[in-house]
Structures are given as structure tokens and as C-alpha cells.
Structure 1
Amino acid sequence: MKFWTARRRDHLAGYLFIAPQLVGTVVFVLVPLALVAWYSLHEWNVLADEFTFVGGDNYRQLADDPNLPKVLAATGLFSAGLLVLNLTLALLLAVLLNQKLRGTVVFRTLFFSPVVVSMIAWTIVWGFLLQDNGGVNGLLNSVGVHGPNWLRGEGTAMVSVIVVQVVKNVGLNMVLFLAALQGVPAGLYEAAKLDGASAWRSFRSITLPMISPTILLTSIITVVGSLQVFAQIAVLTQGGPGTSTTVLVYYLYQQAFQFHHFGYGATLSLVLFVIVLILTTVQWQMRKRWVFHES
């Protein structure tokens, strides 16, 4: 019997096509994840070149860490604020720029341009603008308003970081929403208009259901990205004032690279992985309830 049948050749071709992705997943995802799990069972003193097995000590430290609830609360606040503001503003801009008006191409470029700017450069500039004597307070003083020290106030530091991140990345979601809006059949709006539907009813009953797959995509991207925020915190607030802006990734960095608790840092990395996995899974499962064509 001939070994290389057409079926086997097709299977081999399929495996060869997915081999680069499969190898990349194993080398850059599964192997590092296994190493992080292994490191979490050890304490690694780099200066003394000691790698000691400690079993579940790092996990017991995790359960007893008094700062962890504050860190998780700050992480949740940042993620929720970023998700709501980013998606709302991106959808609003996409709807406005989807109109057939003069100058929309210029505004699309203007709103998208921050996406391609270096994150560090963007954050440094905003750090100067948000200082007590920075450009934002200078603008407020010109109209008779005395602004706070945005990055040093308990109530304004987190809001400032969220706004900086929203302005930086809102253009990406805007472009995704704009592409989705342009894919909605115009005949649906014409039929709704003939039936006497208002603009808001058309938006709620036609636009939102039709672009719901894109809303799902952007929400997953935004949530996962918000849980990995680091540069903005490191440059703008260094986790302060106090621990009000110390999100999980920055706390992980502090434990591993500032305090040299690499084993505990690896444990926090696993916590971050589990949180991302749970949130992504929940969002994906909820798609059947509100994403068009998924019910």
C-alpha cells in the first residue's frame, strides 16, 4: 500500500504551515511559563549565586502580603477606567469620522498618530505637562483655575495615568471601530429610516449588534494591555503616591528587580497569567450573549 497518500500529504502540508507558529508558541510561551512556575518554587540570590528550593514559601508569602490587595485594587481600577474610557471615546470618534464630511482624513491621521509614537517619549512629555508647574496647569492658570499636582495627588495620580494611556492608544481602537462601521450594510439604515426609526434607535439596534465582534476584540485587547502596563507607571508616578498607582506588573518589577526577590516575582507573574487567562476566558464565553452571529 502506498505510504504517501494524498490524505497524508495534505496533513503534512498542514503541519508544515503551522510549524513556525507552533514552535514559536512552545519556545516563547510554554517553556518560559514552565520556567516561571519552576522559579516560583525557589529563591534565587543572584548576587550570591544561590538557587535554593523553598517549596511553597513564596505562595505563603503571597497569601500574607499586606500590599497585594492594594495592588490588585489599583490594577482593577486602572483596567476598568481604561476599558470604559478607551472604548467609549474610540467608538464616539469612529462614529463621527465615519460621516462623509470634509477633513475627516486629517482628523483620522491626527487621532491615530499617538499610536505610533514611542511609549517612553510620549510618557516623558506627559510627565512634564502634568507637573505642578507644567503645561496643563499653565493652561488652567490662564483661565483662572489653579490645578493640582496631578501625579502626586492621591485622587489625581491614577486618573492622570489612565488619561495618558487613553490618549495614547484610543486611535488604534478607533481605526478598528471605523473599519467595522464601514462594513455595516447601508440598506439596513435605509430600511430603519423607512420604518421611522430614530438615529439613536438605529445605532442601538443596528450599529451596535453589527459591530459587536469588533467590540469583543477591542475589549480583550484593551483589558490584556491594561494588565501589562509598566512604562507609564515607572516614568510618571513610580507607583506613588504611596501605592495608589502600583499595578501588578510594576509591583512584580519592584519585587524581582529592585528588592531581588526573584522567586516571589515569579510567583506574582503566575498570578498575572491566571488573571489574564480568567478575564479573557470570561469575555470569550460571554460573547454568546451579546455578540451578533454568536447566539
Structure 2
Amino acid sequence: MSRTTQVVDRARARSTPPAAKPADPPRRSWWTTRRRDQLAGLLFVSPQLLGSIVFVLLPLGLVVYYSLHEWNVLADTFDFVGAENYRALADDPNLPSVLGATGLFSLGLVVLNLSLALLLAVLLNQKLRGTVVFRTLFFSPVVVSLVAWTIVWGFLLQDNGGINGLLDTIGVDGPNWLRGEATAMLSVVVVQVLKNVGLNMVLFLAALQGVPAELYEAARVEGAGRWTQFRKITVPLISPTILLTSIITVVGSLQVFAQIAVLTQGGPGTSTTVLVYYLYQQAFQFHHFGYGATLSVLLFGIVLVLTVVQWQMRKRWVFHEQ
């Protein structure tokens, strides 16, 4: 190789740029879109979550804690008694009658409320003049104060109240509704049904308006009557709403207190002493706070069991779960 060739090769080598190094892979940022969306979701649910912890889970835990103690506010004592309150609950002679009154009230309220609400919804779903007025009329008691509603009905159901005054005009001697063992529970149930039937009526009415009209037309073409259409079309398609209203009504019936306290005070005897009112008596009248907390645990267990049973039964009769 000549000297000239070597000089040319060196010149080319100096003029050729060095090979570029492979670029490093980009570093992934920790603050990704997924983490940002997760944080936004947590911020949105945090008020409800915090409220559930402070006002549901924490009080529930405290109730269980108090049920293991005997708390005497007057003597300023707070003693651990273990399962003593639960043994007293099993031996309480008043508990069977209290549970019986609670079951009777719940059964009467659920049956009458759901049946009447569904009947009113079916009637008011018709395209007739004046249905808006009747919808407002039946729903208006829902927005009335519960205590005010109960006080008014307390005056009406007295021995010389408005109900017996109306019966007297047709020659009927009405009973003392709130003081008779056969009529006190019925009176409380009817007052509560009239108070809340409008809410379930509106829910049923919304469900009925979501049923396609073509199904009814096809059924009429096939010769199906109104009762058959109701059983085979209406009830299956609104069964999710029936499930919702039944759970709400059952839970609400087990938590009744103001109506009993205002109308009957648990009497006559213990015929209208439901579980919540009995809990109130033990805790705030007799100052047995530990035993009252035990009754609260029992109430929570009953509500939980009934809700789970209804939720599991949905697979058998709720249309969209089949």
C-alpha cells in the first residue's frame, strides 16, 4: 500500500462520524394515567366511605363492645360482664311477646303496603283524566313529618276522635282503637301503611311505565285476559322493583319506633311493644345500656338474616336473575 493510499484512508477515518450509541429506553413515569384515575375514584368515594366508617361500622363495633359490659350511668360504673347480657337475653320472659309483636307488625305492614302500593300503581298507570292529582294525593303523606302525621292520627283514633265520630253518624259504636288489644296493632299498622304507601306506589309506577306496550298487545291478540297479562307479563317484568320495595319495607318495619312511642307506648300490655321500642325502654328508661346494646345486636342479626334470605330468593322469582 502506497503512502498516498494510507493518507487517504486516515483522512476518511477521521471524517467518518463514530457510530451512534443505542438510545436508553424511556423511563416510565410513576404518575401514570391509571394511578391518576384510581386516585380520582378514591377521592370521589371517600366522603361516602368515611361516612360509612364513622356512622355505621364504628357504632356497630361499639354496640357489640357495650353488649359485653354493664353500663350504669347513674352509678357511673362500666363493668365487663362477658356473655352475661346474652344469657339474660335468652332468659328474658318478655322477649317472646316482643318478637311476636314485631313479627305481626312487620307481616301486616309488608303485606298491606306492597299490595296496596301495587294496586294503586296499576290503577294510576291508566291513561285517564285526573291521575296526576291522585298520584300527588297518595304521595303527599310521604313528605309529611312522621311525628306530625302520627300525632294527628292519634287524635283521630281516640275513643271520642274523628274516626268514631264518623262511625257514629251511621249508627256504629266504634271501639277505643289504641287501647284495645285487638285493634291497637291494627291501628298502628294502618297508620304506617297510609304514611309510606305512596313511596312504593311511585316505584311501582315507574316500573310499570317501563314495560313495553307491545307485549300487552301481543298477549291480547293471543286471547290473554287482564289477569293473565298481569301474572305473565307485569309481575315478571317488575319483579326487580318488587324485590327492592320488599327489602326496604321489611327493614323499615323492623325499625319502627316513633309510631309506637306516640300512639300506644307499647300497650295495651305489651301487645304493641316491638323490638326497637323494647330496646328503648331497657336502655333509656330502665338504664340497662348493656342489655339494650345486646337487643341492638339481636335486631341487627334479624335484619341481616332477612335481607340475605330475600336476596338469595331473588334467583327463583326475579325475572332478570333467571
Partner of 1:228: 255
Post-superposition Cα deviations, 1:13-46, rounded to whole Å, max 9, x if no partner, equal 2222221111111111000000001100111111
Q: Provide the C-alpha distance between the structure 2 equivalents of 1:135 and 1:197, rounded to a whole number of angstroms.
A: 46
For residue 125 of structure 1, report the CA deviation from its aligned partner.
Answer: 0.7
Q: List per-residue Cα deviations over 1:147-183 (Å, max 9, x = no partner).
A: 1111111111000000000001100000000011011
Distance 2:48 2:309 in 1: 25
- Equivalent-residue separation in structure 2 for 1:3 and 1:29 (angstroms): 35
TM-score relative to the length of structure 2: 0.90
Paired residue secondary structure (1:51): strand
Give the distance between the partners of 2:265 and 2:229, measured in 1 at CA.
Answer: 46
Residue deviations 1:35-92 (CA, integer Å, cap 9, x gap): 0011001111112211111111111110100000110010000001000000000000
Separation in structure 2 between the aligned mates of residue 181 and residue 259 of structure 1, nearest angstrom? 49
Given the alignment of the two structures, is residue 262 of structure 1 paired with residue 262 of structure 2, yes or no? no
1:25 correspondence with 2:52: yes
Q: Does 1:89 align with 2:116?
A: yes
- 3-state secondary structure, aligned to 1:121: helix
Deviation of the 1:6 alpha carbon: 2.3
- Pick the aligned partner of 1:237 from 264, 280, 285: 264
Are residues 1:248 and 2:271 paired?
A: no
| C-alpha distance in 2 between matches for 1:130 and 1:10 | 58
CA-based RMSD: 0.8
Match of 2:139 among 103, 112, 117: 112
Q: Does 1:61 align with 2:88?
A: yes
Q: Distance in 2 between matches of 1:227 and 1:164?
A: 15
Structure 2: gaps spanning 5 or more residues: 1-27
Alignment of 1:110-259 (within 5 A): 110-259=137-286
Indicate the residue corresponding to 1:51 in structure 2: 78
Q: Quick one: distance in 1 between partners of 2:50 and 2:174?
A: 53
Structure 2 residue identity aligned to 1:33: L
* Alpha-carbon distance in structure 2 between the residues aligned to 1:286 and 1:15: 33
- How far residue 10 of structure 1 moved from its aligned partner, in angstroms, is 2.3
Q: What is the percent sequence identity of the aligned residues?
A: 82
Correspondence 1:284 to 2:272? no
Secondary structure at 2:235 match in 1: helix
Correspondence for 2:19: none
For 1:9 and 1:190, locate their aligned partners in 2 and report how far apart those are by CA, in whole Å.
Answer: 51
Partner of 2:41: 14
Letter in structure 2 aligned against 1:277: L
Distance 2:116 2:195 in 1: 12
> Could you tell me how far 1:209 is from its partner in structure 2?
0.5
- Partner of 2:79, secondary structure, is strand
Quote how far apart the aligned CAs of 1:141 are.
Answer: 1.0
1:40 to 63, 67, 70: 67
Deviates more, 1:76-85 or 1:49-58: 49-58
DSSP-derived class of the 1:293 partner:
helix
* Paired AA for residue 50 in structure 2: V
Partner of 2:17: none
Contiguous gaps of at least 5 residues in structure 1:
none
* Aligned mates of 1:218, 1:233 — CA distance in 2: 23
Counterpart Cα distance in 1 of 2:248 and 2:320: 21
Q: Which residue in 1 is equivalent to 2:302?
A: 275
1:139 offset after TM fit, Å?
0.8
